Amino acid sequence: MSARPTERYVQPTLDELGTPLSHVTFTVVDLETTGIASDASAITEIGAVKVRGGEILGEFSTLVNPGEPISPRISAMTGITDAMVADAPPIAAVLPSFLEFAAGSTWVAHNAPFDVGFLRAACESAGQPWPRPAVVDTVVLARRLLDRSEVPNRRLGTLARHFGAAVTPNHRALDDAKATVDVLHALLERLGGHYVVTDVDLAEFQRAIPAEEQRRKRHLAEGLPQAPGVYIFRDAADKPLYIGTSVNIAGRVRGYFTGSEKRTRMRHMLRLAERVETIECAHRVEAQVRELRLISGTKPPFNRKSKYPERLSWLRLTNEAFPRLSVVRTPPEAGAHWLGPFTSRRLAEETRDAVLEAVPIRQCTTKLSVRSTSPACALAELGCLAPCQHRVDVDEYGEVVARLGTAIAGDPSTVVAALQSRIGDLAARERFESAAELRRALRTFLHTVTRTQRLRAFIDAGELVAAERAPHGGWDVAVIRHGQLAAADTTPARTNPMQAIQALRSSAATIPATDAQLAGVRAAEAELLLSWLERPEVRLVHADVGWSMPTRSAGSYHALLDRLRDADVAAGVARY
């Protein structure tokens, strides 16, 4: 018998493990040029910022004489003229200093092939050896880490606004490099959730995943049920990586291991996946609800939508003698006047500002007393009711608040009419940009009031039972209580479904009737169920109380909302 071969265990080297990203030195570079082709254009400015661990280590900035005229179009865009670069050094004189500044670091650029391509061409023409740096492209990272529901595009200006960069990009090299630094840091924070913690991980995350590597994991799709439900990809530590839903789990999961799956993000997820867990459901609607709940509860790194319901914003009237309209993250309590949810604080603030154009609610944050006056701010001279000075009493101020409450809960006409009048006045005075901003705010207000009123009516409806014809006979039934799914089942084909529906109602979960619970983390679930109920093929089987909307609710303004949306689309600023 031959001797059993000795097994060898090889410990990875430190180089193979990589350097933690907090210890990596990045040189973030941006160029201004005379054109877009590196073989036919020249560099006019170099700006770079060296950072490590979130700290700035140094800056590099210089104009460059391109040796050719700068076109008026480029000058208009960058602000760099022929006169500005006339006495600047040529690129051959600048390169040694820049290469010394960036030596030993990882280069970062937004649309790196452009900047790195120009620098490489400059090295070749100047006879400088190319340093072959590791390169990080923030465009690639943004494509893999940000969904279009977050940002409409991956331009530097868009990402800088989204992440709240300290410097606004302006087509000057150093400022654009500084903005890219903030974008880079924001993207690096997100990478932690994708198991990217070293420079080696980062390089792997950027590169395309070979199709054969994708196909090697096909065994994970074996033995899965051909039924509606939820599937969960889990890693070696059994942590959820991605949660999805399908009416045929087996068929959907198999699709991840074929050439039809082109998303690089999903290919990276498959590299980490070790098993697939499934949860069979009665029908598609139950699967979608379970998916929402699981995503918000576990926050898998490769899911993007519905992951952070706690980040939603709300507008609510504060509970005090002279209330104000406040932007909050905490879901409002039952009985309060509230608007929302908003997907961002900015939209909430725009809506608040639009409301304040129409209803003179105070804007200051001072705690006011009904017994003594408080110092007045500048707004007291600009149309504020100045309750701080007791120019109105609690009852008079309460009448104003009641108007706002009516606009939120019922007829929004007072706010709509005031805003339309203000928009018309601004347009007549040729202040078209201000009119367009207010028009967008009116649209946001109407959209949100409609959403809020639909949610309120749905929550207040108590128990609703609805059914839809199942694909293979019978009925897909859902019991909904106060805006949440309480039970789901599919009744047998060719039988009277009412007995099964009654049994389902008896066993359904008890859902407390509180706005705070339902309007917060369950807002997405309530809207999902509402969309299903409003489909023409879905039949309402039972309702505890009337499910209705006020006659003069925000929904009656759908034609105006459509016109506002069309105007925003034409202006290229559509949101919803």
Catalytic positions, written as ranges: 171
**Do 389 and 373 meet the contact criterion of CB atoms below 8 Å apart?**
yes
Picking from 245, 220, 247, the residue whose alpha carbon sits closest to that of residue 234 is: 220
Angstrom distance (rounded) from CA 538 to CA 322: 46
User: How is residue 129 written in tokens?
Assistant: 């050896």
Angstrom distance (rounded) from CA 232 to CA 293: 13
Q: Report the DSSP pairing between strands 484-490 and 539-543.
A: unpaired
**Do 360 and 385 meet the contact criterion of CB atoms below 8 Å apart?**
yes
Picking from 153, 156, 159, the residue whose alpha carbon sits closest to that of residue 176 is: 156
Picking from 163, 171, 151, the residue whose alpha carbon sits closest to that of residue 70 is: 171
Picking from 212, 278, 285, the residue whose alpha carbon sits closest to that of residue 240 is: 278
* C-alpha separations of 251 from 69, 164, 255 in Å: 60, 42, 7
Q: Which residues are CB-neighbours of 503 under 8 A, at least 6 positions away?
A: none
Residues pairing with 231 in the sheet: 244, 278
Measured from the Cβ of residue 291, the count of other Cβ atoms closer than 10 Å reads: 24
Determine whether 64 is exposed, middle or buried from the number of CB atoms within 10 Å of its CB (0-12, 13-18, 19+).
buried
Cα dihedral 279, 282, 286, 288 sign = positive
Q: Which residues are CB-neighbours of 56 under 8 A, at least 6 positions away?
A: 49, 50, 181
Place of tokens 């990589």: 18
SS3 letters across 419-464: HHHHHHHHHHCCCHHHHHHHHHHHHHHHHHHHHHHHHHHHHHCCEE
Angstrom distance (rounded) from CA 521 to CA 32: 46
Q: Which residues are CB-neighbours of 99 under 8 A, at least 6 positions away?
A: 123, 128, 131
User: How is residue 459 written in tokens?
Assistant: 């929550």
